Structure 1
Amino acid sequence: MTSRPSRRPLRRAALALSCSFAATALAGCAVVGPDYLAPDVTLPLHWANAPKQPVAKPQDLVRWWRGLRDRTLDSLMDEAVTGNLDVAAAKARVREARANRKQAIAALFPTVDGSGSATRNKASAASSGTDVVANTPYTLYQAGFDASFELDLFGGNKRNLEASTRALEASFEDLDSTLLTLLGDVATYYTQARGYQARIALAKRTAASQRETAALTKSKFDAGSASAVDVAKAVAQAAATEANIPQLTASYAESVHQIGILLGREPSAVTALVSRDAPIPAPRLPLPAGIPADVLSRRPDVRKAERQLAQYTAKIGVAEAALYPDVSLTGSLTTSAQRLGDVKRGSAIGYSFGPSVTVPLFNAGNLLAAVEVAEAQRDEYFISFRSTVLTALKDVENALVSLSEERKRAVKLAESAKNYAESARLSRALYQNGSSSFLDVLDAERSAYSAEDTLLQSRVLITTDYVALAKALGGGWSGRVDVSKPEIVDAGTLPHSVDFRVLDPVR
């Protein structure tokens, strides 16, 4: 009776291998490289151009465009967040950074590979005197697995995980920054479109009034109380005003087309939605500027720059860990039999495990240079962080002073437009009664149109300065953004045949 091989060696080998890896995984390891410290930034205590106002709260800047009280703009904002292509690309970068972090986590764990083979074998004939012994063919079945585990004694993998975690955090800030820019752009182009609509309507009203003045002048000319020069000037002024309409219409169309692109749709997608005349959006409530220190937490571009600095600080540790020995545990377990059913029962068992060490002895300074590269990159991102903070402060100060001064300018322009309109009305009435010259009417109508048109442009600037201030302060989207859904869902990724003839270039 043939006895079966004992299973105890297989169990002992597997147990020893598992215990060795587990004990190593639980052992603490050191890390090399600098530990990250948030940079100390000196900021002013107050905004130089901000009016006195109560302390700002984070929710004051949430959905800031609601302060413009325009439902069409509200709907465009919602659609832009879900359809914009730059936002979609930022979502993809988040998924990429998340997958990179998963790879970094995997490096902290052992790797195990299974293997199996079936081979047909026959040994050569052996001679013994005159007798010839021929070995018969046989089949050998083998199965096993190999395992390896990097001890990470100097923390290179841990630093890499730290860097990938900071990169993931930076990708989320990049998404927020993209949303902030998008919302500001949609509001700006929408305001400009409404401004062009108002200016087109003004040009049409003014041109119609000037055509009436030209007709009145022609009547006076026919009656002998006006000259042909007056008629020519009246017609020329009406034509000059009408000449502004095509240019304004083209600018309006460009703004509307840009809104369509920002929504991730074709350029004319929102033409019908915006075609109905509506007033220029005007802010009703001031935006609380808070204090300069708020930009560090509110501005996503500042937060992104800080996370990138942390990421590249951790990469120094990755580069420095390569200077030290690399210690790994490797092990293998194999079983073989001449019958497939005996692989689990009556097989021959072999195993091996133990440490392996790789020591960098000579690399012509390559590893030291890699550390210097990592340190230089860290310095670059530190300088970029400081620059981003200063740019944020500048953006807020510029927006504050622009909005404040434009509001003052609009008050004077409104007063000017009101008086010029009254002057044009009186001059036209006096001219109709023969108590004023045509030059007075011509000058008054030209000045009234220019003043009203400038006032409309100022109202657009007030709103766009309001939008710029909201962006500079870090106001943006507050809702949830789903980053898990890919743009393309692949089908048929399981093993299948492909007709490679379709890959031939078409000539």
Structure 2
Amino acid sequence: MNRYPSLTRRALTLTALAAALAACTTVGPNYHVPDQAAVKRPEANAPFLGAAEKSYTSDPLPADWWHLYQDPVLDGLIAKAFSANADLRVAAANLQRAHAVLEEVEEKKRPEVEIAAAPQYGRIAGASLGIPEEIPAGGLYEADIKVAYQVDMWGRIRRAIEAVQADQDAAQAASDLAHVTVAADTTRAYADACSAGYQLKVAQASVDLQQRFAKLTAERVQGGRGIAIDNSRAQAQLDQLRANLPPLAARQRTALYRLAVLTGEVPSRFPAEVAKCATPPRVASAIPVGDGAALLRRRPDVRQAERQLAGATARIGVATAELYPNVSLGASFGGVGFIKDAGAVNTWKFSVGPLISWNLPSTSSARVHIREANASSAGALARFDAVVLNALRETESALTVYARELDRNAALRAAREQSALAARQTAKLYQFGRTDFLAALDADRTLASAESVLAASDAQLAMDQAQLFLALGGGWENTRPAHGEGHGAATGGGPTAHGVEHGVAAVGTHGSHAPQ
């Protein structure tokens, strides 16, 4: 009876030794951001070229950048979108799935325990036991407790966990990116609705002005101081200005529909207060944009691409482990016999031992898998570089477009003022017969065009600002209580130092490169 505890102790000792051995060997490359990656270039982390304009500052971008508009309606819309947007719910579900996959993979590093019991009534054939006599029928049983543990001698499980951890981080980055997009899209839809309302207001003012001019022209024709063609020209101008109203009304309504869907409502339940808005939202002060390093740390798509690179690198180790044997330890303890003899010494059984499997002929397929994993890692690095460069391009472009539209807007505003002055002066001259009808009509047409173009520029400025904030990639930082509580840890010289927040600079300290 004393031998069973001794065997149990031996099995536990063997398991502990195997676990210690497994902790010392991890094949495949340890991950770090490659030195040749675009994110490590000094130019990528430098101040933006476009930020030298007076409309920008180098201050860090606030996490909740929409507060810069100082617009409570916009604040409320974004808060509602964050709580009800369907795309954010999809991103949250994908993140939950990534968590579940990680838990599933982490289970592989724990022992598996199986308990089975099979009581039954019947008779055992004596011949099967080498007994010539008939064995009487009775209650039979068989019960087992089995414990199996896969010894991760080559780090296959650890690399798989590392890869899935990177996938989870990438899913979190995708969720953050969805928040950035929803915040920017909500701002753009709000700006579009208000801008369309403003343009409608300007267009209606032009119509009203032309109506007064057409009325004055009709009175002059009736008084014999004009000809019929003057009346027709004035009415044609009026009809042309009226034709500008329906497209603007349609644009306003479609923007309201977008806004409703972004905030989780059906299109018909758009916010009534926005339908009355006729002032485009705009940040009046200089916009804080930071620099390239801050941008690359902040943008979730950059972090997502970096985490995908980390996962692809870890999967090289998973493929490399296929070159080596799989080792599993197993132990079972149980009993079998007649139920009436249950517990008797001669009914107990046990087994302890390793299971080693190594498919030598399949090493060629393992090497193919290694080449595939290396190619995937190279592709992930190329995608990472592309995302980094595109993030910088988008931001520089948005900075330039907004600054130049500000210049254009200022010139258009000056032109509108001069057109308004000319129209007033011409109207007085025409009223007293000092100028002809065509001059007055042309002055009014020029003013209406200047008003329309300036209103369109004001609307474009609002859209350009929202596009700039989208390019800067902020807005996700306060959407979860403790961002970055992942499995990765950045270390010195890793991605954090070179523009990628939450990157894993080195995972595992005992990895080695296996034959490939």
Interval containing the TM-score (normalised by the shorter chain): 0.7 to 0.9
1:150 is the counterpart of 2:144: no
CA RMSD for the aligned pairs? 2.2
Per-residue CA deviation, residues 229-253 of structure 1 (Å, 9 max, x unaligned), is 1101111111111111111111111
Moved more, 309-318 or 8-17: 8-17
Contact 2:197–2:276 (CA under 8 A) maintained in structure 1: no
Query: 1:71-82 maps to which residues of 2 (within 5 A)?
Result: 71-82=72-83
Report what 1:100 is aligned to.
101
- CA distance in structure 2 between the partners assigned to 1:345 and 1:214 by the alignment: 115
Counterpart of 2:33, as a letter, is A
Report what 1:459 is aligned to.
458
1:87 CA drift (Å): 1.1
Q: Rate the CA distance shift 1:358–1:188 in 2: closer, same or farther, 3 A.
A: same
1:184 CA drift (Å): 0.9
Report what 1:384 is aligned to.
383
Report what 2:51 is aligned to.
50
Counterpart of 2:423, as a letter, is A
Counterpart of 1:213, as a letter, is F
Report what 2:315 is aligned to.
315
- CA distance in structure 2 between the partners assigned to 1:426 and 1:47 by the alignment: 47
Report what 2:241 is aligned to.
241
Match of 2:27 among 32, 56, 71: 32
Q: Rate the CA distance shift 1:57–1:218 in 2: closer, same or farther, 3 A.
A: closer
Moved more, 270-279 or 138-147: 270-279
SS of the equivalent of 1:268 reads helix
1:431 is the counterpart of 2:430: yes
SS of the equivalent of 1:139 reads strand
SS of the equivalent of 2:268 reads coil
SS of the equivalent of 2:26 reads coil
Counterpart of 2:443, as a letter, is A
1:209 CA drift (Å): 1.7
Report what 1:403 is aligned to.
402
Contact 1:61–1:474 (CA under 8 A) maintained in structure 2: no
Report what 1:256 is aligned to.
256
Q: Rate the CA distance shift 1:323–1:122 in 2: closer, same or farther, 3 A.
A: same
SS of the equivalent of 2:154 reads coil
Contact 1:333–1:350 (CA under 8 A) maintained in structure 2: yes
Per-residue CA deviation, residues 340-371 of structure 1 (Å, 9 max, x unaligned), is 7x645777110001111111211272211111
Report what 1:497 is aligned to.
none
Q: Rate the CA distance shift 1:23–1:365 in 2: closer, same or farther, 3 A.
A: closer
- CA distance in structure 2 between the partners assigned to 1:285 and 1:113 by the alignment: 67
Identity of aligned residues (%): 30
Contact 1:337–1:346 (CA under 8 A) maintained in structure 2: no
Q: Rate the CA distance shift 1:343–1:26 in 2: closer, same or farther, 3 A.
A: farther
Contact 1:10–1:349 (CA under 8 A) maintained in structure 2: no
Counterpart of 1:274, as a letter, is V
Query: 1:223-372 maps to which residues of 2 (within 5 A)?
Result: 223-339=223-339, 343=342, 348-363=347-362, 365-372=364-371
- CA distance in structure 2 between the partners assigned to 1:133 and 1:35 by the alignment: 67
Per-residue CA deviation, residues 184-208 of structure 1 (Å, 9 max, x unaligned), is 1111121111111011111112112
- CA distance in structure 1 between the partners assigned to 2:113 and 2:125 by the alignment: 36
1:217 CA drift (Å): 0.9
| Runs (5+) with no aligned partner, structure 1 | 1-5, 127-131, 484-507
Counterpart of 2:69, as a letter, is L
1:477 CA drift (Å): 3.1
Per-residue CA deviation, residues 281-308 of structure 1 (Å, 9 max, x unaligned), is 1112222232222222111111111111
1:109 is the counterpart of 2:110: yes
- CA distance in structure 2 between the partners assigned to 1:400 and 1:459 by the alignment: 17
Per-residue CA deviation, residues 419-451 of structure 1 (Å, 9 max, x unaligned), is 212222222232222222211221111111111
- CA distance in structure 1 between the partners assigned to 2:97 and 2:169 by the alignment: 12
SS of the equivalent of 1:365 reads helix
1:125 CA drift (Å): 7.9
- CA distance in structure 2 between the partners assigned to 1:284 and 1:219 by the alignment: 46
1:470 is the counterpart of 2:469: yes
Match of 2:16 among 4, 18, 22: 22
1:29 CA drift (Å): 3.2
1:464 CA drift (Å): 1.9
Contact 1:206–1:449 (CA under 8 A) maintained in structure 2: yes
Contact 2:322–2:363 (CA under 8 A) maintained in structure 1: no
Report what 1:414 is aligned to.
413
SS of the equivalent of 2:33 reads coil
Per-residue CA deviation, residues 69-118 of structure 1 (Å, 9 max, x unaligned), is 22111111001111111111111111111111112211111111110101
1:268 CA drift (Å): 2.4
Counterpart of 2:25, as a letter, is A
Contact 2:51–2:58 (CA under 8 A) maintained in structure 1: no
| Runs (5+) with no aligned partner, structure 2 | 483-516
- CA distance in structure 2 between the partners assigned to 1:302 and 1:57 by the alignment: 21
- CA distance in structure 2 between the partners assigned to 1:57 and 1:343 by the alignment: 79
Report what 1:166 is aligned to.
166
1:333 CA drift (Å): 1.1
SS of the equivalent of 1:362 reads helix
SS of the equivalent of 1:363 reads helix
Q: Rate the CA distance shift 1:57–1:234 in 2: closer, same or farther, 3 A.
A: closer
1:11 CA drift (Å): 4.3
SS of the equivalent of 2:143 reads strand
1:23 CA drift (Å): 3.7
Per-residue CA deviation, residues 5-45 of structure 1 (Å, 9 max, x unaligned), is x5x55544544434433343344330111111113321423
1:190 is the counterpart of 2:190: yes
- CA distance in structure 1 between the partners assigned to 2:110 and 2:126 by the alignment: 49
Contact 1:61–1:470 (CA under 8 A) maintained in structure 2: no
Equivalenced residue count is: 470
Contact 2:58–2:288 (CA under 8 A) maintained in structure 1: yes
Moved more, 48-57 or 239-248: 48-57
Q: Rate the CA distance shift 1:294–1:189 in 2: closer, same or farther, 3 A.
A: same
Report what 1:218 is aligned to.
218
SS of the equivalent of 2:140 reads strand
SS of the equivalent of 1:257 reads helix
Counterpart of 1:432, as a letter, is Q
Counterpart of 1:35, as a letter, is N
